Amino acid sequence: MKMRAPAIPLITVDPYFSVWSRDNINDKFPTHWTGARNAMLGLVTVDGEKYRFLGDSTDKALEQTDCEIDALSSSFVFEGAGIRLTARFTTPLLIDSLYYSSRPVSYIYLTYESIDGAEHRVTAKISASEELCLNLAGEGRALAEEVSVNGVSAIRMGRGGQKILNRSGDNVRIDWGYFYLGARGDAVCGTEVFENLYAVYTEAELKNEALFIAAYDDIDSLLYFEEPIKAYWKKDGKTIEEAISEAASEYEAVSEKCDKFSRKLYQDALDKGNEEYAELLSLAFRQVMAAHKLAVDKEGNNIYISKECFSNGCAATVDVTYPSAPMYLIYNTELLKGMLRPIFKYADSKAWKFEFAPHDVGTYPLLNGQVYNPGSLEGQMPVEECGNMLVLVDAICRQDGNYSFAKEHFALLEKWSRYLVEYGEDPANQLCTDDFAGHMPHNVNLAIKAVMGLAGFADILENLGEVEKAKSFYATAKRYADSICERAKNDDGSYRLAFDRADTFSLKYNSVWDKLWRTNLFEDKFYSGEIARYKKEALPYGVPLDSRASYTKSDWLVWSACLAENEEDFDYFIHMLYSAFNTMHTRVPMTDWYYADIANMVHFQNRTVQGGLFIKLMF
């Protein structure tokens, strides 16, 4: 990867089991995605002398000479003491498999070769601190014990006297369950102290290679409407010890599958865009996957819960699912259905009193009902969430070629479509997902979302056999689209931020579904006028969301780029985004909200919305 990634994924499983680094991984200790330290230490002993390749210590550091990142692995090369050491971190989040998308096991594969012509005796030791199983070091006491795992030497660590699912929030880490560290075959496991941190370690001889394994058993993963539920990988009774043993035995085969997937993702992005686009998708993939948790509810339904990382910690947020959807529409619609099932369940309960769709179902990992302005009509996002849900369900059905998911939830979809008929043409004073400047009435892009929601419902109706009703909804969508173009047009051929704000602009990313579905609700001149205005308004690192500020959003920038008719314009927008991440001063997992003039983060990091970057692959 040519990009200087703002942060590098090392261990990426879910919102809690998360380890990241920057540039040279042996300069500083790695961190959780929040930036809180997740201290790990990697040492090799070469002919009796210790050298550091991960973390920080008083030991001499090997020189890091290379770093390569693909969709599922990050590989580092080090030189010194007569050897070349390669450390490959792989989390096999194979998205076409629900099991691998859930199994909380990550690999650290070490190999070395002599570069001075001499033979060397090399051992490797990896240590992990209490910070991986406590919210913060010192908050409770971590305890460790060796465990029996077939084919693996392993030790586990967890908080004493822990309370499972005892807290929720944004900038917090897990303090229940057990972290496991081991190595395939014979190894020495134990406990130690470094940096005044209690830690576990595993040490193994490198007979040219050694496979280390990091895993986490959270016992119960989510509180789902007052019921604790477990991760998907446990659904058939598998234990963490069995999962670790299995992972160790199949490393070579799984690693090959990971490489194959990563190569195909890169090539697909190259075919639809360019090298910069391929690198953006490769960097985004693990981040998107690992900001979710896949579990099974008491009825056996798969639920796939996102966390609004450094936004507010909300779980299963509809307007976060909406931008993340393209990645899941491409690779596995069952995971996208798993994002929507909690919303349908909550909206169909007596607890939800409104005629429009909810915003969320809780604060991760406690999913007991909406926490974003609950009970207050003023604080809701009604047109936003109704449009999102209708578009998402129709997109799933189109991708599957099967409309049973829509049929299952038809009553709610119909209710939300009628809400858009009544309120979508010219939205009242309310929030929408890109309205960071606060409430605003007459939002043109929000009206476009309503149009696309109605178009989506028309397609659902047609495929469920209600043809005449479908024609009526499509006609309404077309009438509203024509109304938008008439009332929102600027003199230069672009379209306004709000109907009553002359000569303003905004990214009309919601219209991407019209292009993708070929519903022809907006004429070609709508898109050409918008693209011309975006190019006029462009700053060095992107096009602002709208006229009010210089910040932009990575997901909406790519969706807007897809409105362009030619490859050169698409590449132009992608280059700005690539340059932003390549030069960004804020070194965190990919932010989606940043200043387009200076490439600094405004807020948000590690969010699932980077799945929106994949939308070009759908064209």
Query: Is residue 99 in some structural domain?
Result: yes
Whole-number Å distance between alpha carbons of 332 and 328? 5
Number of domains in the chain: 2
**Same domain for 365 and 480:** yes
Residue 517 forms part of a structural domain: yes
Measure the CA–CA gap between 322 and 49, rounded to whole angstroms.
Answer: 53
The DSSP annotation for 196-256 comes to: TEEEEEEEEE-SSEEEEEEEEE-SS-EEETTEEE-BGGGTT---HHHHHHHHHHTHHHHHH
In a domain, 69, yes or no: yes
User: What 3-state class would DSSP assign to 77?
Assistant: strand
416 domain-assigned: yes
CA-to-CA dists, residue 45 to 74, 121, 122, 429, angstroms:
23, 8, 6, 64
Looking up tokens 């190569």 gives 263
Q: Give the structural domain span for 240.
A: 8-259
For position 555, which CATH number holds?
Answer: 1.50.10.10
**Whole-Å CA distances, 307 to 88, 207, 220, 288, 462:** 27, 41, 17, 10, 34
Q: What is the mean pLDDT of each run of 10 residues along the chain (619 residues)?
A: 97 98 95 98 98 97 98 98 98 98 98 97 98 96 97 98 95 97 98 97 96 98 98 98 98 98 98 98 98 98 97 95 98 98 98 96 98 84 97 98 98 98 96 84 98 98 98 98 98 97 97 98 98 98 97 98 97 98 96 97 96 98
pTM over 0.85: yes
Asked if 509 contacts 445 with a C-beta cutoff of 8 angstroms, the reply is yes
**40 & 176 share domain:** yes
306 plus 166 within the same structural domain: no
Same domain, 369 and 479: yes
Same domain, 475 and 336: yes
Euclidean distance between CA atoms 175 and 164, whole angstroms: 8
Task: Give the bridge partners for 175, in sequence order.
Answer: none
Quick one: pLDDT at residue 373? 86
Mode of pairing for the β-strands spanning 227-229 and 209-217? unpaired
Predicted local confidence at residue 146, as pLDDT:
98
User: In Å, how far are 100, 247, 364, 377 from 430, measured between CA atoms?
Assistant: 40, 49, 25, 10
- The tokens describing 46, both together, are 């070469």
Residue 55 near residue 21 (C-beta atoms within 8 A): no
Helices 410-423 and 444-463, axial angle in degrees (round to 10)? 140
Q: How is 416-457 classified by DSSP, letter by letter?
A: HHHHHHHHSSS--SB--TT-TT--BSSBHHHHHHHHHHHHHH
332 & 207 share domain: no
Query: Domain of 59: which CATH number?
Result: 2.70.98
- Where does a domain end: 232, 259, 286? 259
Q: How far apart are CA 599 and CA 594, in angstroms?
A: 6
Alpha-carbon radius of gyration of the chain: 25
Q: How far is CA 437 from CA 13, 94, 430, 507, in A?
A: 33, 38, 11, 15
- The contacts of residue 193 (CB under 8 Å, 6+ apart) are 199
Asked, for residue 573, whether it belongs to a domain, the answer is yes
282 found inside a domain: no
Is 409 within 8 Å of 344 (Cβ atoms)?
A: yes
Considering the domain architecture, whether residues 127 and 199 belong to the same structural domain is answered as yes
Any idea which residue has 């529409």 for tokens?
Answer: 329
β-bridge pairing 209-217 and 105-114: antiparallel
- Regarding whether 253 and 353 lie in a shared domain, the answer is no
The domain boundary, picked from 259, 283, 316, lies at 259
Q: Is 269 inside any structural domain?
A: no
Looking up tokens 């040519």 gives 2
| Contact (Cβ atoms closer than 8 angstroms) between residue 257 and residue 399 | no
Residue in this structure with the two tokens 């002919």, named with its chain if needed: 47
Q: Are 520 and 513 contacting, i.e. CB atoms less than 8 angstroms apart?
A: no
* Alpha-carbon gap, residue 70 to 124, rounded angstroms: 24
**242 with 321, same domain?**
no
- Per residue in 122-161, pLDDT (tens digit) is 999 999 999 999 999 999 999 999 999 999 999 999 999 9
Which of 259, 280, 313 lies at the terminal end of a domain, its last residue? 259
* Residue 375 Cα to chain centre, angstroms: 29
Residues 425 and 351 in one domain: yes
Helix H or strand E encompassing 127: strand 122-129
355 in the same domain as 239: no
Q: Provide the pLDDT for residue 23.
A: 85
Phi, psi of 568 (to 5 degrees): -65, -40
In angstroms, rounded to a whole number, what is the distance separating the alpha carbons of residues 56 and 122?
20
- Are 455 and 340 members of one domain? yes
The C-alpha atoms of residue 308 and residue 483 are separated, in whole angstroms, by: 35
295 occurs within a structural domain: no
Residue pair 145/174 in contact by the 8 Å Cβ criterion: no
